[in-house]
Amino acid sequence: MLAGLAPLIVLACLLSGLVAAAWQTRRWLQGAPARVARLQGLIAMPGRYLVDVHQVVARRPRNARFHALAAGGLLASLALWCVLAVPPLRYRPLWGVLALVLALMLMGAISVWRRRQVDRPVELSGGGFDRLPLALLLYAGGFLVLALAELFTGPAATLFSSLGLIVGTFGLAGIISLAIGGPLKHAINGMLHLAFHPRPARFVGGKRDTGLVPLDLASARLGVERPVDFAWNRLLGFDACVQCGRCEQVCPAYAAEQPLNPKKFIQDLAMALAPGASDDAYAGHGHPGQALGSAHGGPGEPLIGAMISDATLWSCTTCRACVHECPMMIEHVDAMVDLRRFQTLELAALPGKAALVLEDLRLTDTLSGRGPGARLDWAVDLRIPLMREVMEAPVLLWLGEAAFDLRAQRTLRALVRLLRQAGVVFATLGPEELDCGDTARRLGDEATFQDLAGRNIATLSRYRFDRIVTADPHSLHVLKNEYPAFGGGYEVVHHTTFLAGLIERGVFGPLSPDGRKVTYHDPCYLGRYNGETAAPRALLDALGLERVEMERSGLRSQCCGGGGGATLTDIPGKRRIPDIRMAQATETGAAVIAVACPTCTVMLEGVTGKRPEVLDVAELLWQAVERGGIAAARSGMPA
Amino acid sequence: MTGLAIVVLLSLGRHPATGRPRRNPDDARALATALALAATRSGSRVLAVHAGDPRAPVLRDYLGQGLDELTVLDMPSGSDPLPSLREHLVALSPDLLLTGQRAENGEASGLLPYLLAEALGMTLVPGVVGLDLQGDQGRFTQALPRGRRRQIEARLPLAATIPAGTAGLPLPSFAAARRGRIVSLPALASPDPHLVAIERQPWRQLPRPQPRRLKGSAIDRLKSMTGGGEAKGRLLVDPDPETAAAQILDRLGEIGLIRASHQSVTSRDTDGRTER
Ligand code: SF4
Ligand code: SF4
């Protein structure tokens, strides 16, 4: 009988595993200091796991099931081993409980094995991950035999018990070796990352903590050059990546075969935590167009160049699709921007037109280079009141860079007419409105962003208004979520939200129903960044449009390719992101693709060939109001 | 190979849309050329000089290109930079003098590099878009109108100007701009005689020139627009200076820039160049 021996062997293995795991913490502890509420984080961790992680994992129910069985079974069995190690507590029925737990875990392990060996999704990694199912099967199967044998007595039971112990111990040794720097390290690092997460506000009651963290422009090194320049809890996050490939599946740059795979990007960062690192051992998809095995680096070596190519860095549209899908709650976009900050502020190394546009922005306060004095040129006939004349207005209309784009000006004209029609009293800053700084910030030019933010906030502080309304989700995000760190705090409302509210109050009178089939493209900066997916849909429904959804919509929508300065850095791929998105829209059979962002409008309108018409939600509403007005006028006429 | 002393002259520009001060793009490219050249030759120094107000914030943008130190000859705006620059540069005796082709402010005649080169006894190569130095022998690629290029060989010390509108403008690095130093030297402030003498007129709209109807076949029209037609004028290979100067003056007379006879040349611009 091995009732006394088995728990001791298991605990000894576990203890050595813990020592080795503690030694592994040096990988991420070498990062820069970070202010973390550690105790609170540890207390909050189980809640974050059960609520937030579960929300992500549950989007794929099959994965959620096998993970619960395998991981839950493993943890429960380890707890039981601890009890069984204490002789007075070693009641025989406990072996039965252990057998039950291990049987469940075995089911999970079989699912894991099937997923890895039989119907394997392409986004998964190989390498150590391929040894994982065997280790789980041996552990669960071996100790299941032992636990069942312990319920009986006699020579046969002893024989099975010893066999089970040998096989199970092999499995456990495998599991532990895979937890030390192998695929199962995600269990330990994932838990710690949840506890010490750099954005704890993400986990508080449905909040979306998406604003970038301000950079102290007085610090000695601006941005991140080497792995050790990241805060330690960021490194912990990278090291927690389980290489599930969910981010790879949703990344628009990867789909366009630009040289960016977010999973490989995070792995590059994690692999560089060991001295003399190379990507030889990486066994998943690489960055498109780049051969595996050529990247090399180390904790104290520059990342961009040898470890990660600059084309990878500048391909990202900052769409946050990867962040939204990541079950380990890793913040890819923060890492991108941290690295870009160093490239831009220290090295001034930006590809494509980005450098020229940033120079124009610094000298004219507009990306177009035309200067704020020309911001209202498109609207001379509309005579929009200026804040500096009226000093106060209930609504401040923020125009954004759309004011310089011929196509987006049409949307603004529709919006202005709608506001007039609804009797909304509004004014704009006009020539006093500077670029909000969104593009500069995403391109890593924090200095220009902070300069623009400071001056815009100073201007806004001179006037009285209840809320800011804007048709540009990028301005919305920056004004609402990023200006507070610099002393601005405003109620900022997207025009779709505002207009949906007006419709609800019935201010537009009869809307002539529009029978067309429409599909709505969620802008990343409205949906994922700000959580607004309902208002534009409600508005479209109020117009009587037949609304169909694309396969990827709402919070899981796909980017148009225009965010994060990607149009300026213009990294070539095999396809164009807007073409991919437009193909998804065309597939729905819709006649109109409704948009709610000037950048999306321009990107999607640039798609050639037969495709749905691109119209902003405001334009659709104005069309309906106009038609409704005409119909009312007609019916009012004496016959 | 010994290190070079490269002097770069940097002026303040104006943004065409907002009129805000900026780097002069040509000067910024001259600086980039100088820094790149200095990096290829150990022991080289880039001595950047600006004549004007040392407190102008935009000067930091030049530092942001990777320049450690910028010397400013402190003088009020509207001063003639020539006397102070001449004095300063003679003391530095550079191997190479680089600058943009013309300023965006003030007189902006583009003459300053010529006058300085003359004072320093240097050859001046205008419109340089490519530069390769072997020892003290330089091979220059010179940009000519309509996209043509010419190779020139010349020996150091010499001066070169960078033409407008060549490759992109280097973005200044915020960190380097923060690190660099501005050293201010008191300088002679003599008013610019030209700016004092000229008469200023308010801007007025000129009649819009009638677009010329192009004649001939499509290929002819294309040629006349792209300048691909036959070259007009005479090509003089290695002429003696007398003949060359006479030809230039004739040509200037032909196109009406000066009155036809040599004696009537009074403009200060041509004076400097046709001196015999
Ligand atoms: S933010 Fe978007 S583009 Fe950037 S890596 Fe993530 S999914 Fe890809
Ligand atoms: S970064 Fe997140 S989503 Fe991407 S592979 Fe790693 S764990 Fe999966």
Ligand 2 site, residue A326, Cβ cutoff 6 A: yes
Cβ(A577)–Cβ(A255) below 8 Å = yes
A358 contacts on B by Cβ (under 8 Å) = 171
pLDDT digits (tens, 9 = 90+) for A29-51: 999 999 999 999 999 999 999 88
Nearest-CA residue for ligand 2 atom 8 is A244
In the block, tokens 């990660």 appear at A308
Give me ligand 2 centre to Cα A60, in Å.
Answer: 14
**What does the pLDDT average to over A154-181?**
90
Place B267 in a pLDDT band, splitting at 50, 70 and 90.
Answer: very low
Partner B contacted by A231 (CB < 8 A): no
pLDDT digits (tens, 9 = 90+) for A184-213: 889 899 999 999 999 999 998 777 899 999
pLDDT digits (tens, 9 = 90+) for A110-126: 999 988 888 888 888 88
- How is residue B179 written in tokens? 């690190």
The alpha-carbon gap from B224 to the nearest alpha carbon of chain A, in Å, equals 32
Phi/psi of residue B222, nearest 5 degrees:
-60, -45
Peptide bond into B157 cis (omega under 30): yes
pLDDT at B102: 86
- How is residue A130 written in tokens? 């391929």
Nearest-CA residue for ligand 2 atom 3 is A326
Which atom belonging to ligand 2 lies closest to the Cα atom of A240?
Answer: 7
pLDDT at B263: 46
Residues 6+ apart with CB under 8 A from A586: A610, A611, A612
Ligand 2 site, residue A98, Cβ cutoff 6 A: no
What is the spatial distance between Cα A577 and Cα A542, in angstroms, rounded to a whole number? 30
Domain residue limits, chain B:
5-197, 218-275
Ligand 1 site, residue A527, Cβ cutoff 6 A: no
Phi/psi of residue A110, nearest 5 degrees:
-65, -40
Cβ-based neighbour number of residue A470 at 10 Å: 26
pLDDT digits (tens, 9 = 90+) for A494-522: 999 999 999 999 888 777 777 889 999 99
Place B264 in a pLDDT band, splitting at 50, 70 and 90.
Answer: very low
CATH class of A217-346: mainly alpha
Nearest CA in chain B to A347: B173
What is the spatial distance between Cα A559 and Cα A595, in angstroms, rounded to a whole number? 12
Nearest-CA residue for ligand 2 atom 6 is A241
Cβ(A452)–Cβ(A440) below 8 Å = yes
Cβ(B205)–Cβ(B92) below 8 Å = no
**Four-CA torsion A371, A603, A324, A35, nearest 10 degrees:** -20
pLDDT over 50 (residue A638): no
The region that residue B216 occupies, defined by phi over 0 for left and psi between -120 and 50 for alpha, beta otherwise, is left
ipTM: 0.83
pLDDT over 90 (residue B259): no
Give me ligand 2 centre to Cα A242, in Å.
Answer: 6
Ligand 1 site, residue A319, Cβ cutoff 6 A: yes
Phi/psi of residue A277, nearest 5 degrees:
-70, 150
Fold match between A217-346 and A367-500? Answer: no
DSSP for B165-181, please give it. T-SPPPPPPHHHHHH-E
Global confidence as pTM: 0.89
Cβ(A595)–Cβ(A617) below 8 Å = yes
Cβ(A226)–Cβ(A303) below 8 Å = yes
CATH class of A367-500: alpha beta
Evaluated on CA atoms A56, A57, A62, A65, the torsion sign reads negative
What is the spatial distance between Cα A455 and Cα A436, in angstroms, rounded to a whole number? 10
pLDDT at B75: 92
What is the spatial distance between Cα A44 and Cα A446, in angstroms, rounded to a whole number? 32
Domain residue limits, chain A:
5-195, 217-346, 367-500, 504-633
One-letter identity of residue B122 = M
Domain A504-633, CATH? 3.40.50
Place A231 in a pLDDT band, splitting at 50, 70 and 90.
Answer: very high
**What does the pLDDT average to over A608-612?**
92
Q: Right CATH number for B5-197 from 3.40.50.620, 3.30.2130.10, 3.40.50.1370, 3.60.20.10? A: 3.40.50.620
Kindly report the average pLDDT of chain A as a whole number.
92
CA A525 to chain centre: 11
Nearest-CA residue for ligand 2 atom 7 is A241
Interface of B with A (CB under 8 A): 15, 17-18, 20, 22, 64-65, 168-176
Ligand 1 site, residue A321, Cβ cutoff 6 A: yes
| Closest ligand to residue A559's CA | 1
Give me ligand 1 centre to Cα A559, in Å.
Answer: 9
